A and B are shown apart, each in its own frame.
Chain A
């Protein structure tokens, strides 16, 4: 029998945070579902959107993009939201400078609530969304934005437009590349096989096999 090359499959949790109305949901929908609407409402009933990437010939990457549940919106995120995330997008709206000012707050909240397993910060990409519209504030100055990202610990930034489908794929690809690098770098000595994930009675036979994580 021909040796079938086993594909490596990665499942990554990515957070999408930022102020209200900056277009987080739009970005996720554009990226995952290839469509854009002016009229999203609260993201109700859904934890995350899933995007499957055939990264290369032998790697499949499954991205869980966790939107802040529609109305967990006053910046009070639960730990279960942050927990075990390996990447993050912080989104601001280039047309509203106030949303950029909040970026620092979101980054600090993120870093205070979650780190990678080796205690380094979760790689975070800054998205300057709605770049198809008139910009306000710092985002007009590329070198200043670069400095800002460096200072605040962002791994990079992109001008994006969910509406015009600008740079979203690129930003995601950039972040996933980072995550894959981290994944290789971080020793997997934490293989802890006796964590239990509760399953329904029907799945109880699977519990033993699947009951491990990270």
Chain B
């Protein structure tokens, strides 16, 4: 049925990264016909959060495997006119390099098994009996004590086993224990064996509690490669981890556009800083400052006074006038703050480098303070399941308002007419698709069209660790900023606990992000100092630091400026920068908004849509019924036609909409009539009511008044549902909860 793929659009958006998705949603929301395509088979592009399996396919993909092919020249010649020319686009994201994935935990189950098989020839009986018992105890017990007991069993009953084999068996026991969590298959093949063993288990259940606790701990510590792989689905590993300022423009946009309903967040619960080689918690709120034991009384007063002055620094420009062109560090110096306080403010509150100028440092400090307290004692939020959720939220909004989505499809060429205006694209499946605007992510634009001097790099590490860098048993989401020795850039460390849905419990995911100008060094080398400071590098030497179980390093290029050669690239092709080095997402929102407002002056940027639970509307498709004979080909199939003139109608609907809110009586009347009308079930009856239906239409599109102010252009196509609302008072109930609850 995909054969009637529409070919005419207002806007074609290439790439489903965050900026592109925001723009796609914004255009779709005001009734523009949007095609949103991505060369990848998944959403979010370079913003994606991958599970452990998807990481593998992504790495292959960065090597160019399974890439889309450009449409061949002959096909293109047939699609374009003589006066048109084409610009070839990139179908492979070439911005990644030095990608390297490592499992740092060795005791792979399959290795152990094959080892065992080799030894089995000589001592088959003993091993077999051990395996049986282990499996049996696992199945019978199905609890965390199994591991230790099985080990005891091994000792008790098979003293003849030489030490070499004993080690192997113990390793196998560990694996059995792990399997219990996911399935009961381990025990199946040996069920009903060896009743004496289950007795032992029964007795051993009465072990002192402390021993049991110990066992539980031991079991939790046992992670193998196979167990990590088995839990692949529970990982959400971000290519581009970013935080949201609670008071920033991203949070604001999510709320005003109602896209917040698709996402949930965790708060950053802890700001850490590296002070003289030690990790310290940064006191940033009033409460923190006064609770901190590491800060002296004098420093507390000093910090509070300074922060208070920063919160309204713009009201007293004379305070910092002299520092306008000087670094923020100089300004801090002039305030006679102690070393600790200076450090806290510069690196953790203002996120300033040695090069940050005073006004910027002050603005960032203010933004930080402004963000505190909105969602608890924190300035930052992290999206549950990773940042890859956010673009998808915008994509869903775009689709809900009629945007057409196609993954694993891209544009292989731009089509340009003789006036150097882009008329559309050639899709990778060999069609010409027209559009007034083409929005394209930077990595799809061929390199020579950029100014190479703007090229920079981001070194990334994604680590899966066994415990937090400051381990206290609680689930903390931590942010740590570490200045580079040259003071020019800050390296960002974000540590995510399992409750952020980034990893299976109790593992943590650590994201390290560092900006660099150096292309050739490996990310391992770039980040070496930080990794060595925070983590155990030699697994054998337990120094209390977290162990890295799995790591991925990569480097990605980005452009600080994506201005392209406009003599080649037409003005109506908008090139969007990829994710930059910033800690947060606000610049993405600001850039997207600016682009939208430039292209669509006077239009609202992602106004709030009506709440699905509040809309009462009738099927105005019924108006179109002209007593046609029944056709089986109904539903969505004619949608492409139906959306082609959204703007014409939205004007008039808009006014009706506002009116209806002022006249609740009309609305209830129309409701009644609708109900009787449509309960009749017969399309003929509906046809007779056509006139009435039409006149009622204006009044029956309705939303609760608390939303009305933000709905400026209710898309006309909010039709189609009829109301049965007379009988469902619950529809006016709680509107805050969008996600289904299990409770």
By a beta-carbon cutoff of 8 Å, the part of chain A in contact with chain B is 10-13, 19-26, 29, 32-50, 52, 60, 62, 64, 69-74, 76, 78-81, 83-86, 95, 115, 117, 119, 130, 133, 165, 183, 186, 188, 191-192, 194-204, 206-207, 210-211, 213-214
Contact = CB atoms under 8 A, between A and B. Distances in A.
B741 A34 contact: no
Contact of A45 (B381, B400, B706): B400
A25 B635 contact: yes
Nearest to B49: A79
Nearest to A19: B1
A32 B405 CA distance: 27
B2 A74 contact: yes
Given A32-B724, A71-B639, A117-B742, 20 more contacts: A11-B741, A26-B635, A34-B679, A39-B634, A43-B720, A44-B400, A44-B401, A44-B643, A45-B718, A46-B612, A47-B612, A71-B636, A74-B407, A78-B399, A183-B742, A188-B742, A198-B254, A199-B260, A206-B736, A210-B736
Give the residue among B389, B405, B613 with the most A Cβ atoms within 10 A. Answer: B405
Interface of B: 1-2, 43, 182, 233, 251, 254-256, 260-267, 374-376, 381, 384-385, 388-389, 392-393, 395-396, 399-407, 499, 609-610, 612-613, 615, 619, 621-622, 624-625, 628, 630-639, 642-643, 678-679, 681, 683, 686, 706, 714-715, 717-724, 728, 730-731, 736-743
A97 B715 CA distance: 35
A69 B381 CA distance: 28
Contacts of A71: 399, 402-405, 636, 639
A37 B739 contact: no
B528 to A, nearest CB: 34
A50 B381 CA distance: 30
28 contacts: A10-B741, A11-B740, A25-B636, A29-B720, A33-B721, A33-B723, A39-B634, A41-B639, A41-B643, A44-B639, A46-B612, A49-B721, A70-B402, A70-B639, A71-B402, A72-B405, A76-B406, A78-B393, A78-B399, A80-B392, A130-B632, A133-B632, A196-B375, A197-B265, A199-B255, A200-B256, A204-B374, A214-B739
Contacts of B499: 192, 194
Contacts of A207: 375
Contacts of B396: 47, 69, 72, 78, 80-81
Given A20-B637, A39-B634, A195 B266 contact: yes
A109 to B, nearest CB: 11
Contacts of A47: 261, 396, 400, 612
Contact of B636 (A42, A204, A214): A42
Given A21-B1, A70-B399, A71-B402, A76 B262 contact: no
Contacts of B385: 79, 83
Nearest to A30: B681
Give the residue among B392, B400, B621, B743 with the most A Cβ atoms within 10 A. Answer: B400
A14 B639 CA distance: 23
Contacts of B730: 52, 60, 62
A186 B742 contact: yes
B389 A49 contact: no
Contacts of A202: 706
Nearest to B408: A76
A40 B2 contact: no
A33 B43 contact: no
B736 A24 contact: no
Nearest to A95: B632
Contacts of A24: 635-636
B613 A39 contact: no
B720 to A, nearest CB: 6
A82 B472 CA distance: 35
A200 B261 CA distance: 11
Contacts of A49: 612, 721
Contacts of B255: 198-201
A21 B717 CA distance: 18
Grouping DSSP codes into helix (H, G, I), strand (E, B) and loop, the A interface class, with mixed when no group exceeds half, is loop
A213 B718 CA distance: 29
Contacts of B731: 50, 52
Nearest to B38: A76
A36 B722 CA distance: 9
B589 to A, nearest CB: 14
Give the residue among B265, B396, B399 with the most A Cβ atoms within 10 A. Answer: B399
A197 B639 contact: no
Contacts of B407: 74, 76
Given A50-B612, A95-B632, A40 B619 contact: yes
B233 A115 contact: yes
A87 to B, nearest CB: 9
Given A69-B399, A214-B739, A196 B267 contact: yes
Contacts of B741: 10-11, 213-214
Nearest to B250: A198
B251 A35 contact: no
A54 B728 CA distance: 11
A198 to B, nearest CB: 4
Contacts of B724: 32-35
A13 B384 CA distance: 18
Contact of B736 (A21, A25, A83, A197): A197
A205 to B, nearest CB: 11
Contacts of A45: 400-401, 609-610, 714-715, 717-718
B395 to A, nearest CB: 5
Contacts of A119: 182, 233
B266 A196 contact: yes
Nearest to A190: B742
A179 to B, nearest CB: 10
A60 B683 CA distance: 32
A25 B621 CA distance: 13
Nearest to A203: B736
Contacts of A80: 262-263, 389, 392-393, 396
Contacts of B403: 71-72
Nearest to A78: B392
A48 B609 CA distance: 13
Nearest to B41: A76
A64 B381 CA distance: 27
B736 A44 contact: no
A115 B231 CA distance: 13
A56 B638 CA distance: 40
A26 B619 CA distance: 12
